[in-house]
Chains A and B, each alone.
Chain A
Amino acid sequence: MMNRKVHVQAIINGEEVEFLCEPRQSLLEVLRETLGLTGTKEGCNNGNCGACNVILDGALVNSCLVLAVEVSGRAVTTIEGIATARGLHPLQEKFIAHAALQCGFCTPGFIVAAKALLDQNPNPSESEARQWLAGNLCRCTGYDRIVRAVMDAAQAQEKLL
């Protein structure tokens, strides 16, 4: 009975969410197809591009490599949960200000990955930022502006705290 659906309850972007999914469905597929959270992108579906990055209980993961049933009882943050009621997150503001995107397709993954970085290292060096972001592919920018935006967002966040 492969297609029997499983009931899953999870916290997604701070809100309790319930959904039905097949055991074979990835978190990425359920986020996009079932929950309509299409900000999380599919670039490769095998963990090599980072476009589907989400934060799962504080850890950065590729949502294409997580089964949806695995998030039962856990907390997921997607790109849609990065901005706050006050407005854009400093990372989002700095990505725009530094022109750190061209096509924008990899951008949600980068911002989620950078958020996970700043959550645990609020003041990364350039080399720490590059190390952390090496799991995310961008084909447009050459990374220069992305790294600058992340470093600058770290500074901006420090000032806020």
Chain B
Amino acid sequence: MTTLSADEKKQAYGVIGKNPLRHDGTDKVTGRAQYGADIRFPGMLYGAMLRSPHAHARILSIDTSKAEAYPGVKAVVTANDLPDVESKIAELGEGTINLRHQSNNVLAKDKVLYFGHAVAALAAINPHVAEEAIALIDVKYEILPPVLDVRKAMQADSAILLDDMRTDELGKKGDIPSNVAAHSQEQVGDIEKGFQDASVIVEREFFTSMVHQGYIEPQNATAHYNPDGQITIWCSTQGSFGVREQVAEILEIPVSKIRVIPMEIGGGFGGKVGVYLEPVVVLLSRKSGYRPVKMAMSRADVLAATGPTSGSYIKVKMGANEAGKITAVQAMLAYEAGAYPGSPVGGGMGVMFAPYRIENALVDGYDVLVNKPRTAAYRAPGGSNAAFASETVIDELCERLGMDPIEFRLLNGAQEGDRRVDGPVYGRIGFVETLEAAKNSPHYRAALEGPNRGRGVASGFWYNYGGRSSASASINSDGTVSLLTGSVDIGGTRTSLAMQLAESLGIPAESIRPSVADTDSVGYTEGTYGSRTTFATGWAAYEVGKALKEKLLERAALIWETESGTIQFENGAFSFDGKQMTFAELASQLNETGGPIVASAGVRPEQSAPTFATHIVDVEVDPETGKVDILRYTAVQDAGKAIYPDYVASQMQGGVAQGAGWALNEEYLYDDQGRLTNASLLDYRMPVTLDLPMIETIIVEVPNPGHPYGVRGVGEVPIVPPPAALANAIYNAIGVRMAILPMRPARIVAELNRQKG
């Protein structure tokens, strides 16, 4: 179901808004699609990685001699093979990273900072020999006390992870070592006055555990170092140009020496932006006498050493007056960054109150090091933790005020012209439209009956990123157009990009042949992250279409002996003075009219437009076991314009599923020594078919005035509301407020027992 806002005139599109079959569908249902681990080269070696069994330790020595002597081993590397990269901040998809930290994360230098931290790697003739040999590397450690709790890590007497870390305290560097990498603050109005004006105040604490992106394809990378110094990398990444930059910086090689060929990618969700294996296989290839080297992570390594997003401690206080208007908000967020700074606490701070018009706010955020893997972006990074806290506090305010949760949100909902707590003033946004659609949805209008059943509502916000994208296209003589972009296709973007080019040319989506190009074949393109690909690369595709059209008009003018300005081009056909020529007819005459037509475009929209979501969920809780069954789920979201609606809906459904896993089951479990105890997909429990119902979607379209087709990003926001929506539903079902994620059965039973006394 698609709801168009009344004030937006529906534009008649020929291609956009339809659901053509995706161009890579057949390859992906037949097993032909080539993912990173699928490639093989003659003489290829297989890599293996030695990882730290300790959460926090000093490396005293590494003896690789036995491994080097082992038959079949061709190269061994440690951090000593990496150049000493200086501290330098680089942009890294929805966050920044210090390249020295990135280098030390790829191979530990002096200290290991988490269980699973890479220490040494080797390449051998097959994966079994590699595994046997890796066990022969002898590392001597001095074990240090692990820092595992975010609040303890902030205390002055905590063990310190990075001796040179000084807190960035509201922009000023501290002078003593600390695990707090940064303290930031957002402030508006006067919270003291605001809380005085409140008739209801709710203040609560929340705790969430680290969770993993959970892509099904483990990280993998293959490299070939040519004797002439040219390097080729085949890998599973969200951003090929980002891999090229990171490898170049870490190995101190010019980017032009590196060609990154992005293979099909088996999921990323933010976790495949930073490099792990790529610099290592490059070193191994060089050291093994220029043989290609492939390395893939085991699932246990994926869980222990890549990805997760922050666990967090969050304290929220919100006040509202008798009419239900929010008068003041205050929050403190402390996010686990893992071993190196860079948690998404800033994202959380901004997301937390973004859906609402707020005059008085004070929000403090802390980026805190702990002996756990360096966190990576995960779908709306930092957002779900924050919204879990704020949106459950809002539910409690609604309860105390006797207000319907959607009415409360309508009353307080941000609109165009309102200022976000972190500064920006909203342009045209569609939050209220999502609330109206939720309110009028079949789900919200249906009564929910039965014992231990409850309904919850929560909303969410995401910024959406813009960024740099390129596209190139050439016209084929049969009337089709080949489209090259640098955007890795994780979820159908070949087609959502092809559709935008097709629309601008007035030809069917099927007439476009979209490909994902490598770093030598297309202009610079940022990764597929930040909900940016259909927005920014789609914009590049649109620009390419415009350029192709200009050139085609010139050719038609040549044929008809007129000026190109006198020719009409509509619905894929050229016309002039009663004469007509289809796109395909003109395409077949390119040779005679001047040769090939090729066009390229590079775009750099700084920012996309924000998006909002409102979710409704019904649950049934078994009070004996604490198990939560999701009975019905409806996700409402503003897509701006849904270019490829089935895949927009699928993003929404996937976000709900991940959010539900985060809410109910998923968590990193560490023992008191900081060893990850559930590093398997049996024990790290992601949702399966039985855990979810069908997920209803309502796409609202409030076009983004800053995009040719009105696109806002769609991928990230759907993961923001689920934990809060589920917590609110659980409360509605059994009367207990859950403040810890995940809300696993044992925790629910414990809360029920506590309530009974």
Contacts and interface: CB of A to CB of B under 8 A. Distances in A.
A105 B35 contact: yes
Contacts of B653: 141-142, 144-145
B219 to A, nearest CB: 12
A138 interface: yes
* Interface size class, chain B: 35 or more
Nearest to A40: B31
Given A45-B299, A141-B653, A79 B31 contact: yes
A24 B680 CA distance: 21
Given A49-B216, A104-B24, A142 B29 contact: no
Given A80-B30, A96-B22, A96-B26, A43 B491 contact: no
A154 interface: no
B329 to A, nearest CB: 32
Contacts of B37: 32, 38, 41-42
B267 interface: yes
Contacts of B21: 96-97
Interface stretch (B282-290, B507-515, B681-689, B742-750): B681-689
A83 B21 CA distance: 18
A39 B32 contact: yes
A104 B686 CA distance: 18
Contacts of B264: 103-105
B237 to A, nearest CB: 13
A53 to B, nearest CB: 11
Q: How large is the interface on A (under 10, 10 to 19, 20 to 34, 35 or more residues)?
A: 35 or more
B28 A101 contact: yes
A102 interface: yes
B38 to A, nearest CB: 4
Nearest to A92: B29
B218 interface: yes
Interface stretch (B428-436, B564-572, B654-662): B654-662
Contact of A101 (B29, B40, B656, B687): B29
Contact of A137 (B27, B688, B692, B695): B688
Interface string B357-389: 000000000000000000000000000000000
B426 interface: no
A78 B267 CA distance: 22
Interface in A104-124: 104-108, 111
B86 interface: no
Nearest to B688: A134
Given A45-B298, A96-B26, A139 B654 contact: yes
A46 B681 CA distance: 9
B34 interface: yes
Contacts of B269: 139
A112 to B, nearest CB: 9
Interface in B672-704: 680-682, 686-690, 692, 694-695
A96 B29 contact: yes
Contacts of B681: 43-44, 46, 48-49, 137
A129 B215 CA distance: 23
A141 B420 CA distance: 32
B654 A78 contact: no
B490 interface: yes
A76 to B, nearest CB: 14
Contact of A102 (B490, B656, B686, B688): B490
A146 B19 CA distance: 17
B40 A33 contact: yes
B128 interface: yes
A38 B38 contact: yes
Contacts of B266: 41, 43, 103-106
B19 A99 contact: yes
A135 B681 CA distance: 11
B197 interface: no
A82 interface: yes
B216 A137 contact: yes
Most buried by B among A24, A91, A92: A92
B128 A22 contact: yes
Given A41-B217, A43-B216, A139-B267, A102 B654 contact: yes
Contact of A44 (B32, B299, B657, B690): B299
B25 interface: yes
Interface in B316-367: none
A17 interface: no
B188 to A, nearest CB: 37
Contacts of B28: 101, 104, 107
A88 B25 CA distance: 11
A95 B38 contact: no
B116 to A, nearest CB: 16
B650 interface: yes
The residue in B265, B298, B650 that gathers the most chain A C-beta atoms within 10 A of its C-beta is B650
B33 interface: yes
Nearest to B216: A43
B29 A95 contact: yes
Contacts of A104: 24, 27-29, 33, 264, 266
A134 B680 contact: no
A30 interface: no
A107 to B, nearest CB: 5
A69 interface: no
B695 A102 contact: no
A121 B649 CA distance: 29
B156 to A, nearest CB: 40
A43 B689 contact: no
A152 B740 CA distance: 40
Given A43-B217, A48-B682, A51-B216, A140 B491 contact: yes
A19 interface: no
A131 to B, nearest CB: 7
B647 interface: yes
Interface in A51-87: 51, 78-80, 82-83
A111 to B, nearest CB: 6
A141 to B, nearest CB: 5
Nearest to A103: B267
B151 to A, nearest CB: 31
B31 A39 contact: yes
B30 A103 contact: no
Nearest to B32: A39
A44 B29 contact: no
Contact of B216 (A22, A38, A95, A138): A138
B214 interface: yes
A41 B296 CA distance: 12
A99 B647 contact: yes
B128 A139 contact: no
Contact of B654 (A40, A49, A129, A142): A142
A148 B653 CA distance: 13
Interface string B266-279: 11110000000000
A137 B24 CA distance: 21
A43 B650 contact: no
A141 B650 contact: yes
Interface string B1-39: 000000000000000000101101111111111110110
B30 A142 contact: no
B681 to A, nearest CB: 4
Interface of A: 22, 24-25, 29, 32-33, 36-46, 48-49, 51, 78-80, 82-83, 88, 91-92, 95-99, 101-108, 111, 129-131, 133-148
Given A48-B299, A96-B26, A99-B646, 10 more contacts: A40-B31, A43-B266, A46-B299, A48-B681, A83-B30, A102-B491, A103-B266, A104-B28, A106-B266, A147-B694
9 contacts: A42-B218, A48-B682, A91-B29, A92-B29, A95-B25, A99-B649, A102-B651, A139-B213, A139-B657
Nearest first, the 7 A-B pairs at minimum CB distance are A39-B31, A105-B266, A104-B28, A142-B657, A102-B491, A142-B653, A79-B31
